[in-house]
Amino acid sequence: MALLFFGNADRVAEWLPELRRAMPDRDIRVWPDAGDLSEIRYSLGFAPPEGVLASLPNLRAIFSTGAGVDGTLRDPTVPADVPIVRMVEQGLTEGMTEYVVMHVLAWHRDLWTYAGMQAAGEWRKLDQTLARDRRVGVMGLGVLGEDAARMLAALRFDVAGWSRTAKEIPGVACFAGEEGLGPFLARTEILVCLLPLTAQTRGIMDRGLLSRLPRGAVLVNVARGQHLVEEDLVALLDEGHLAGATLDVFREEPLPEAHPFWRHPKVRTTPHIASITLAPSASREVARQIARFEAGEPLENVVDRARGY
């Protein structure tokens, strides 16, 4: 009943001791040293190499180290009858909310403008807006989006959210579906993207969608780089329709050296660290799920293959 872990050398060094601590009796193997493939019951990784999961004849569950499973699902050979479990873990949620709050506050309180003024030796006071008068919109009201929206609302921001199906979240104006998108965008000054990457959401943030934000709006993309048409964002920033962007995720990662985002004056980048799955707590979560599964209980946080998330 072995578990096969996928990751580069750094990830293996970080995760292996934690997996062994969380599941001391489990046979834990690291790809490509998988041994007898018929002994593998579980896999764990962010983007296992194409074809490998299909080569495991007795695989019972595929665990993702990420909340997003686009890395697993991009392999068309992943067996359709094996459940994929995405990572839902309190530390991952809290980390994301911290990042979102940090960047929303930074744009809201003109942190980057003041940083530029300090660099230029310029002493000048900008107008101040209170959070209650700042309209923030969160696209994706799932585990991460809802937590971030609630925390922003607790900080008194005027918060709205948009999701596929209708929601009710105290303190958050909820919009849903195609018909909800227009009014949601029209009232959003700071847009946070926390959608999963699916066939429906790939390229969703293009010129058409971003132009529906009010002039001077800001984007915080912490979901996936493929949600954004990067050239459209650069054009809208250069034209002045958008005032800035925080980008944690990119179409190509690592961000290529010559990419304009590195040096664009209105863009702040981080290297896909908005929230990092922490090996100790995530290993305990995988151990908990396997224990449930082997006790005959259903797995939690299973991906709906038809929806893609």
Instruction: Give the catalytic positions in this structure.
Output: 224, 272
For 135, the 3-state DSSP assignment is strand
The reply on whether position 165 binds ligand NDP by CB under 6 A is yes
Overall size of the chain counted in residues? 309
Stretch in the footprint of ligand OXD (CB under 6 A) among 60-68, 130-138, 158-166, 201-209: 60-68
Residue choice 34, 52, 56, 67 for contact with ligand OXD (CB under 6 A): 67
For 67, the 3-state DSSP assignment is coil
Q: What's the closest the beta carbon of residue 37 comes to ligand OXD, in angstroms?
A: 27
Stretch in the footprint of ligand NDP (CB under 6 A) among 2-10, 134-142, 208-216, 230-238: 134-142
Question: In which element (H, E) is residue 289 found?
Answer: helix 279-294
Cis peptide before 48 (omega within 30 of 0): no
Comparing CA positions, the residue from 191, 85, 211, 193 lying closest to residue 142 is: 193
The reply on whether position 66 binds ligand OXD by CB under 6 A is yes
Residue 101: Cβ within 10 Å count: 17
The reply on whether position 197 binds ligand NDP by CB under 6 A is yes
Q: For the chain, what is the largest distance between any 2 Cα atoms, rounded to a whole number of angstroms?
A: 68
| Binding string, residues 260-279; x marks residues near ligand OXD by CB under 6 A | -----------------x--
| CA torsion angle 211 212 214 215 (round to 10) | 10
Q: What's the closest the beta carbon of residue 243 comes to ligand OXD, in angstroms?
A: 26
The reply on whether position 145 binds ligand OXD by CB under 6 A is no
The reply on whether position 45 binds ligand OXD by CB under 6 A is no
Distance, CA of 201 to CA of 142 (rounded, Å):
14
Query: Amino acid identity, residue 71?
Result: G
For 195, the 3-state DSSP assignment is coil
Stretch in the footprint of ligand NDP (CB under 6 A) among 20-28, 45-53, 105-113, 161-169: 161-169
Q: What's the closest the beta carbon of residue 198 comes to ligand NDP, in angstroms?
A: 6
Label the pairing between strands 28-30 and 2-5. parallel
| Binding string, residues 136-155; x marks residues near ligand NDP by CB under 6 A | ----xxxxxx----------
Residue choice 22, 23, 56, 87 for contact with ligand OXD (CB under 6 A): 87
User: Tokens in use for 238?
Assistant: 């250069």
Distance, CA of 234 to CA of 259 (rounded, Å):
11
Kindly determine how many residues on this chain lie close enough to bind ligand NDP according to the rule CB under 6 A.
29
Q: What's the closest the beta carbon of residue 274 comes to ligand OXD, in angstroms?
A: 8
Task: Assess contact for 204 and 227: CB atoms under 8 A.
Answer: yes
Enumerate binding residues for ligand NDP (CB under 6 A): 67-68, 92, 96, 140-145, 163-165, 194-198, 200-201, 222-224, 248-249, 272, 274-275, 309
Enumerate binding residues for ligand OXD (CB under 6 A): 66-68, 87, 277
